[in-house]
Each structure stands twice: as structure tokens, then as C-alpha cells.
Amino acid sequence: MAEFAVNKKVHSTTKISLFMANYRRELRMEADIRKKGKVEKATEFIERMKKVQKEVGAVLKKMQEDIKRQIDKERKESEEWKKGDKVMLSTKDLVFKERLAKKLVDQYVGPYTIEEIVSTNVVKL
């Protein structure tokens, strides 16, 4: 029943259920399966499936672009560091053995010299 509920639920982004996105028809209970109805041709079914998957893909791509645009508004360009540069280290996420009051700890410690650049945002001091 849990799988049925998940497949039947309408997704907020695509505005259709997962089952509808995959099979282009609504999920039915077992009692509904026995109903006699028109059997569609396989090619028509495939064409409808391709159309739905294309629509869902377009909606998901648009949502992904919107989310990326929102996140990129808050991003800053990282500085280019070179070996030998002097930097100050933030104590914001450092854990000290002695439990000092946060207001008594310096915000930055250093300066430290960069020994190696591991990646764009990781350096060895």
C-alpha cells in the first residue's frame, strides 16, 4: 500500500503522479483492472510515453535551472591562492581542546603560509 501511495501522489514540480509520468495512465486499484476497455496500440502508447517523459524532463530541467540561479546569487568567486601566500585561518569551525567561551576566542589565527594547493578550495598550511 505504501508503494501505491507513493506512485499515486501528485509531485509538486511536475504536477503529475510518478505512475502517470512513467506509464501515461493513472494508477488503478485491482478492482478497476477488470474493467473492459479499449486496448490501445503499442505504438500509440510509446508515442504518448515519449511525449510525457519529454514534458517531465523539460519541467525538471527548468526547475533545476531556477534552483541553480537562486543558489548562484549567493555564491562568491573564490580567491586564487598561490604557494607561499600568507593567509589567516578562521576559527569559526575549529574545535579546541580547552573549552573557551566563544567570545574569548580570536576570530582568525595566523598568518600561515600556504605549502600546497590541493584543489580550488582546499590548501595545505
What's the pLDDT at 123?
86
DSSP of 99-114: ---GGGS-SEEEEEE-
Collapsed DSSP state (helix, strand, coil) of residue 85: coil
Q: If you search the block for the grid coordinates 600556504, which residue do you land on?
A: 114
pLDDT, averaged per 10 consecutive residues of the chain (125 residues), comes to 67 76 71 54 82 90 93 81 88 77 79 88 85
- Which sequence spans correspond to the domains of the chain? 2-74, 86-124
At residue 64, the pLDDT reads 94
**pLDDT given for residue 65 in this prediction:** 94
The answer to whether residues 16 and 10 touch, using CB atoms and an 8 Å cutoff, is yes
Q: How many CB atoms lie within 10 A of CB 24?
A: 19
Q: How confident is the model at residue 39, as a pLDDT?
A: 60
Query: What's the pLDDT score for residue 38?
Result: 57
Query: Which pairs count as long-range contacts for 18-23, CB under 8 Å and 24+ apart, including other chains?
Result: 20/52, 21/52, 21/53, 21/56, 22/49, 23/49
Query: Nearest-CA neighbor of 89 among 108, 105, 104?
Result: 108
